[in-house]
Structure 1
Amino acid sequence: MIILLLVLPLLSALLMLLWPRIAPLLALLSAAASSMLALQLLLQVAEQGSRYMLLAGWPSPLAIAWQADTLSCLLILLTTVLQLLVGFYAFATRSRDKLGQGFWPLSSLLQVSLTALWLSRDLFNLYVCLELLGLVAVALVSLSGRSAVKPALNYLLLSLFGSLCYLLGVVLLYGMYGVLDIAGLARSWQTDWLSSSALSLMSLGLMLKAALWPLHAWLPSAHAAAPAPVSALLSALVVKGPLFILSLLWLQLASVAQAQAAALLFAVAGLAALLFGGWSALRTPFSKNLVAYSTVAQLGYVTLALGLMLKFDQPLIFAALWLFVLAHALAKAACFLAVGEMSATLGGKRLTTLKGASQTMPLAMFAFAVAGGSLIGLPPSGGFVAKWALLQGLWLQGELLLWPLALVFATLLSAAYVFRVVALAFDRADPVAPDFAPQVLPQWLALLPALAVWAMALFSETLLQLLRLEAL
C-alpha cells in the first residue's frame, strides 16, 4: 500500500502528459484510489503499530528510511482527500478558471512529493521531497498567467534560499556524524556548537518555506495571485510539509538543552504571527489576501504549540499541535474555495465585491462562515478541539495566565476578521443581472471541507488518543 500511494499518482501524472484530454479523469481516479488506500493504511497502522521500511534492500543507514506511523497516515489521508475534493472543484470550474492542462499532472506530483515527505525519516530524502514540493508549488502559482509571474518568482527565489539553508545544515550534520537517518542521528547526537548551528540553519530554511513569522512576506501575494484551487492546496497542504520536518528536527533530534533554548523563541514567534497575521487580515481590502493573512495567523497556533511542546514535553500539547494542522487544512481549503468562487462569480478581488453575498451566493457564504467558525475556535469545531487540548496541556503544567490570555486575545482577533466578511455579506445586495445564475456544485465542494472540520468533534477522542500515543 505504501508503494502504491507513491506509484499511483506518479504513474497517472506521466499518463496525463501522454493523453492530456483525459488528464482530469486520471487525476480524479488516482486521488480517489489513493484516498481509499490511505484510509486502509491508517486503520492498519492504528491497529498493528507503525511500519518501518528500508528501500531497495539496502541496510541502514544506506537505505532510504520510510516510516508509516499514525501521524504520517493521518497526513497522507488528509492530502489525498483534499486532492480529490480540490480536483473536483477544478474540474467543475474548468471552463471559467482556464487552469490549463498543466494543473492536473502538477497536482498529482504535489501529492507524490507530500506523501513521500510524510513517510521519510532521512534528512537528505526529506530535502529531495521538500525541493520537489517547492518547485511544483511555484509552477502551480504561475498558472494564473502574467499577473502571477512576480509572486511566483519571489516564491521560487525565497524557496530556493530556504532549501539551501536546509541543505547546508544537512551537510554539516553528515560531515560530523556520517549518517542522515533521523533515528541513527538521535542515537549519536551531541549538544555542541556545530549541531546547534546545523539545527539553526535548517530551521531558518524550513521557517521560510513554511511562511512562519517573521519569514512570511512571500505568502500573501503568492496565495492571492494563484487560482482558487491552487491557493487551497498551498494553504491547506504545502506549508505543512516544512512544518512536519521542523517538528521532526526539534522533537526527535534536538537535545533537551537545545529544545529548552529554542522553546521560547518558537512560542514568541507563534504569538507574533497570531497578532501580525490577524491584524493584517483585518486591514487588507482584498478578499483572498484576507484568507492568506489568516494562514499566517493560524500557523502561529502551530508554532506556539511547538514551542510549548519543547518547553513542557506534554503529550496533550503534541496532540493539539497536529489537531491545529488538520483543522486548519480543512478550514482553509473551504475558505479559499468559497472566496475564490464568490470573487470569480461576482467579478472582483476586493472585499466590497462580497457585499450582499448571503443573498446572491448563500451556499458559498455559508461555507466561508462555517470554516471561519473553526478558525475562531467555536465549539465543537476542529479548531475548538485543538485549542481545548492546548489549554488542557497548559493547565496540567500549571500555566494559567500568560499563554491562555494570549490565546483568548488571538481568538478575538480571528473573530474580528471573520466577522468582517460575514457582516459585509449580510449587507443589502446590489442589483444583479436577470441572468445571474452562480454554479451550485463548486459551492457545495467548498462547503464539504468546512463541514468536515466541524465533524472532527465526532472523532476528537480517537484523534487525541492516537496523537497522544504518538508523542510517547
Structure 2
Amino acid sequence: MNAALVSLLLPLAGALLLILLRPARSGRWVIALSLGALLAAIMALQVVLDHGERSLLVGGWEAGLAIRFRLTPLAALLLVFTSGLHLLVAALYAARIAHAAGNQDYWPLSCLLHAALAALWLSADLFNLYVTLELLSLVAVALVSLAGRKAWKPALNYLLLSLAGSLAYLLGVALIYGRYGVLDLAVLAQLTEADGVTHLALLLMTLGLMLKAALWPLHLWLPPAHAAAPTAVSALLSALVVKGPLYILWLIWSETAPAEFGRDAGLLFGTAGVMALIAGGWSALRAPRLKTLVAYSTVAQLGYALLALGLLLHLDEPRLHAALWLFVLAHGLAKVSMFLAAGELQSILDSKRVSGMKGASQNVPIALAAFAVAGGSLIGLPPSGGFLAKWLLLQPLFERPQHWPWALGALLGTLMSAAYVFRVVAHGFDRARPNPPSIHADRLAQWLALLPALLVWGLALISEPLLLWLGGLGR
C-alpha cells in the first residue's frame, strides 16, 4: 500500500512545487516525477498480485470516519496505466516546446490531474470519490482553457455541465447516507436494499456520472472541449479523464447496487451503448475537422464500455468484467496515439481539416502510421487489444442467440469505426506536393505518438494471463 501512496503523492507534491518554484525546466521535473510514480505503481501492482487486496485508513480516525484507501488489482493496474500515459504525454509535450513556445501552466495542472486520478482509483467510499472526481473535473477544465480564447466557450460549457453532474451525484450520495448512515462501498454492499430511496439515489448518481463521462446521450460537451484543447490535453482527457466517472459507475453498480436494480439498469446501459456506437460513429464520419473526428470517436468507443457494463449487469456474466476493462485499456492507448498523431498531422500539414491531410504519407508518414495503427485497434482488427475486448464482449452473446440485437449493434459500431478511420487514411494517401523535411523534434514526436499504438497491439502477447486476471475481477 505504501508504494500506491507514493504513486499518488509524487505527482501531488510535484504540482505544488511547480506552482511555488516555477523552475525553468519544468518538463524534465514532470518526466522524472512521472517515471518515479510509474515505478511505484508497478511495485504496488506486484504487491497486490502477491498478497491480495490491501486497505489503509488515513487521518487517524476509526473506520467509518477515516478516509479509506483500497488497493485492488484493478486499482493497481489503473495506477500503472495512468502513470505510463502521463509520462508519455509529458515526454511528447516537452519535445514539442523545446522548439516552440509552450504553456508552462500545463506542467503543474497535468501533475494535479495525475494525482486526482490516482486518488480516485484508490478511494473506497462515495464521498471521497466525489472529492477526487470534482478535483479531476476542475483541473481538466483548466487544461482545456490553456488553448486560449478559442477554447474558453467549450471550457465554460464543460465546467457548467460538470458542476451539474457533480450536484446530481452529490444529491445521490446524500440520499444514500441518509438511508444507511455509511458511505463505505464495502459496507454498503452488505446493506443496500431495493427500495425507493436507494433507487432514486442510484438514478441521480448515474445521471451525474454519465454526464461527467460524456456517455450517450449526455455527451454534447465532449467533442467541442476535446477538439479545442491543446493536443497533449486532448490525449489525457480522452484516454484517462473520462474513465474516472466510468470507474465509479462500475463500482456503484457492480458492488453496491441491489441485483434486481442492476438487471433493469443493464438494459438501459446496453441500449445507450449501442446508440453511442451508431450516433457517435456517424458524427465522426461527418466531422470536417480532424480533432473533432477523433473526439466523436471517443463518444462512439465509450459505447463499447457502456454496452459491456450493461450486459454485465443484465446477464450476470463475469467474463464481461474483463471485456469492460480491456476496452478501457485498449481505448486509452489507441486514443492517446490518435490525438498525438492528429496534432502532428495538423502542425506539419498546416491544416485542421480532414481534407487537408492530403500528402500525409509523403510528409508525415510516422504520424499517419500511428493514426492508422491506433485506428485498427478501434475497428477491432486482430490481434489488437480492441479485437480481444470485442471478442470477449461477443462471446456471451453468441452463446445466447436471443441476444443477437446486442451483437448486431456492436458489429454496426465496428463498421462505423472502419469508415471514419479509413476516411482519414484515404486522404493521407492522396498525393500532394511534398513539404520540406520535418525537423528532428517533429520526428521524435511522431515516434512517441506511434508508441502507444504499438503497445495496444502488443496486448495480444500477454492476452492469456491478462484476460484470466481481468476475468477474476467479477469473482
CA distance, structure 2, for counterparts of residue 401 and residue 265 of structure 1: 16
Q: Which residue of 2 aligns with 1:4?
A: 6
Report the secondary structure of 1:294's partner residue. helix
The AA in structure 1 aligned to 2:6 is: L
SS in 2 for 1:344: helix
Partner of 2:242: 239
Is residue 260 of structure 2 the alignment partner of residue 257 of structure 1?
yes
Tell me which moved more, 294-303 or 51-60.
51-60
The equivalent position to 1:118 in structure 2, one of 117, 121, 129, is: 121
What percent of counterpart residues are identical?
57
Structure 1 CA distance for aligned equivalents of residues 23 and 155 of structure 2:
24
Aligned pairs for 1:285-364 within 5 A? 285-364=288-367
- The worse-fitting range, judged by mean Cα deviation, of 17-26 and 160-169 is 17-26
Could you tell me how far 1:59 is from its partner in structure 2? 2.2
What SS does structure 2 have at the residue aligned with 1:20? coil
Report the Cα distance in structure 1 between the residues aligned to 2:443 and 2:179, rounded to whole angstroms.
Answer: 58
> Which moves more between the two structures, 349-358 or 332-341?
349-358
Deviations 1:276-301 (A, max 9, x none): 00000000110000000000000000
* Residue range with higher mean Cα deviation, 343-352 or 19-28: 19-28
Is the Cα–Cα contact under 8 Å of residues 16 and 22 in structure 1 kept in the other structure? no
1:207-246 equivalences under 5 Å are: 207-246=210-249
2 CA distance for matches of 1:327 and 1:109?
A: 24
Q: Equivalent of 2:287, from 260, 284, 287?
A: 284
Shift of 1:101: 1.2
Question: In 2, are the aligned partners of 1:20 and 1:101 still within 8 Å (CA)?
Answer: no
User: How far apart are the structure 2 equivalents of 1:97 and 1:285?
Assistant: 27
Give the CA RMSD over aligned residues: 1.3
Aligned partner letter, 1:30:
L
My pick for the range that moved more, 286-295 or 41-50, is: 41-50
- SS of equivalent residue, structure 1 residue 245: helix
Deviation at 1:405, TM superposition (A): 2.0
Match of 1:368 among 341, 355, 371: 371
1:221-279 Cα offsets, whole Å, 9 max, x none, are 00000011000000000000000000011111111110011111000000000000000
| 8 A contact 2:362–2:434 mirrored in 1 | no
Residue by residue over 1:194-247, the C-alpha shift from the partner in whole angstroms, topping out at 9 and shown as x without a partner, is: 111010001000000000000000000000000110000000000000000000
Letter of the 1:6 counterpart: L
Choose the corresponding residue for 1:129, options 132, 138, 151. Answer: 132
SS of 1:93's equivalent in the other structure is helix
Alignment of 1:413-432 (within 5 A): 413-432=416-435
Q: Quote the Cα distance in structure 1 between the aligned partners of 2:78 and 2:101.
A: 29
Structure 1 residue 186 and structure 2 residue 189: aligned?
yes
Deviations 1:385-436 (A, max 9, x none): 101111123234455622222222211111000000011101112343x465
* Separation in structure 2 between the aligned mates of residue 91 and residue 217 of structure 1, nearest angstrom: 31
Aligned residues: 471
Structure 1 position 50, deviation (Å): 1.0
> Counterpart in 2 of 1:52?
55
**Secondary structure at 2:55 match in 1:** strand
Q: Is 1:441 matched with 2:444? A: yes
Contact 1:312 1:397 in 2 (8 A): no
2:66 aligned with 1:92, yes or no? Answer: no
CA displacement at 1:467 relative to structure 2: 1.1
1:74 aligned counterpart, secondary structure: helix
What CA distance in whole angstroms lies between the structure 1 residues aligned with 2:376 and 2:5?
Answer: 38
Q: After superposition, what is the alpha-carbon deviation per residue over 1:48-94, rounded to whole angstroms, capped at 9, x for unaligned?
A: 21112222342221111211111111111110000000000100111
Contact 1:99 1:144 in 2 (8 A): no
Name the CA distance, whole Å, in 1 between partners of 2:404 and 2:179.
43
TM-superposed CA distance for 1:36, in Å, is: 1.0
Select 1:452's aligned residue among 446, 455, 461.
455
Matched, 1:109 2:112: yes
Contact 2:398 2:404 in 1 (8 A): no
Matching residue's letter, 1:41: A
TM-score by length of 2: 0.97
Give distance in 2, aligned partners of 1:62 and 1:198.
21
SS in 2 for 1:214: coil
> 434-443 or 400-409, which moves further after superposition?
434-443
SS at match of 1:100: coil
Which is worse superposed, 80-89 or 94-103?
Answer: 94-103
Between the aligned partners of 2:180 and 2:156, the Cα distance in structure 1 is: 36
Contact 1:67–1:119 (CA<8 Å) still a contact in 2? yes
Identify if the C-alpha distance between structure 1 residues 360 and 146 changes in structure 2 by more than 3 Å, giving closer, same or farther: same
C-alpha deviation, 1:97, in angstroms: 6.0
Question: Aligned partners of 2:165 and 2:100: how far apart in 1?
Answer: 31
Distance of 2:438 and 2:344 partners within structure 1: 14
> Which residue of the partner structure matches residue 15 of structure 2?
13
Change (3 A) 1:153 1:367: same
Moved more, 448-457 or 36-45: 36-45
Q: What is the aligned partner in structure 2 of residue 195 from structure 1?
A: 198
- Kept in 2, the 8 Å contact 1:97–1:227? The answer is no
What is the one-letter code of the residue matched to 2:444?
A: L
TM-superposed CA distance for 1:318, in Å, is 1.1
**Cα distance 1:399–1:35, how it changes in 2: closer, same or farther (>3 A)?**
farther
- The aligned counterpart of 1:406 is 409
The aligned amino acid for 2:237 is: L
For 2:383, the equivalent position in structure 1 comes to 380
Counterpart for residue 206 of structure 1: 209
- The whole-number CA distance in structure 2 between the counterparts of 1:244 and 1:137 is 17
The answer on whether the counterparts of 1:191 and 1:258 sit within 8 Å (CA) in structure 2 is yes
Equivalent position amino acid for 2:5 in 1: I
Distance 2:58 2:420 in 1: 47
Contact 1:24-1:91 within 8 A present in 2 as well: yes
2:377–2:385 Cα contact (<8 Å) kept:
yes
Paired letter, 1:15: L
Decide which moves more: 1-10 or 354-363: 1-10
Q: Residue type of the partner of 1:5? A: S
After TM superposition, the structure 1 stretch with the greater mean CA deviation from structure 2, 18-27 or 265-274, is 18-27
Match of 2:166 among 136, 154, 163: 163
User: Tell me, which stretches of 5 or more residues in structure 2 are unaligned?
Assistant: none
Gaps of 5+ in 1: none
AA matched with 1:85: L
